Structure 1
């Protein structure tokens, strides 16, 4: 790894940042190290062309979504024992946060708009 480092900034809900910090503390990592490690681990779930596969990439029979879900379940269970309902709530909460962030980003780029008359979100006509 090169010593040439760059800063990356992101904004997450305070509750998510607190969960990341607690998990980083459990692993005796700085928050930066934790986020960097989790991003790298998450990238392993993305499909790559066959020519660029390494021993670290998922096998052809794994789908990125199943790998992501497994990682999310493991992350939640690393906090302790959870019932089915608690797992569902934790995973849905993450999805709801991601959906909200995505809709905010799409609205910021004027790709999606909330339409009160229609009672929901709609694509902005180009």
Structure 2
């Protein structure tokens, strides 16, 4: 395989996030794949951001201060729901984690990597049988 060979990258995101990305990609006149590639590169120190009708420009991204993934979750919840107090923010984050856990467990069961065992009292790896 050479550096120019293309390979697929697959990820799972909440439906609202995909829709938000699609809208943003449309605004930039990009495909969703092109948008995700560009935004991933934008998360790196040096990057180029193509804009509709503009040439590419180089910008620097700020250095992250904390856990980017958790920061993104908080920002997404606040963007989706508006101002939230501490308890409501905790509840919203827990809801997001529960939704993600449910979807991930379903996918892992569909791929036959885990299963629910009443006998063992929870989810188990299928290769442990």
TM-score normalised by the chain length of structure 1:
0.55
Residues 6-62 of structure 1: CA distance to partner in whole angstroms, max 9, x if unpaired?
xxxx998xxx64x559x84xxxx737648x467865x47x8x8xxxx5343855xx5
Q: Secondary structure at the match of 1:114?
A: strand
Structural RMSD (CA): 4.0
Quick check: 1:56 aligned with 2:57? no
5+ residue gaps, structure 2, are 1-10, 47-59
**Is the alpha carbon distance of 1:115 and 1:32 closer, same or farther for their aligned partners in structure 2, counting shifts above 3 Å?**
farther
Aligned residues between the structures: 99
Matched with 2:7 is none
Give the whole-Å Cα distance in 2 for the aligned partners of 1:39 and 1:95.
Answer: 25
Matched with 2:117 is 115
**Is the alpha carbon distance of 1:114 and 1:93 closer, same or farther for their aligned partners in structure 2, counting shifts above 3 Å?**
same
**Is the alpha carbon distance of 1:82 and 1:39 closer, same or farther for their aligned partners in structure 2, counting shifts above 3 Å?**
farther
Offset, 1:124: 0.8
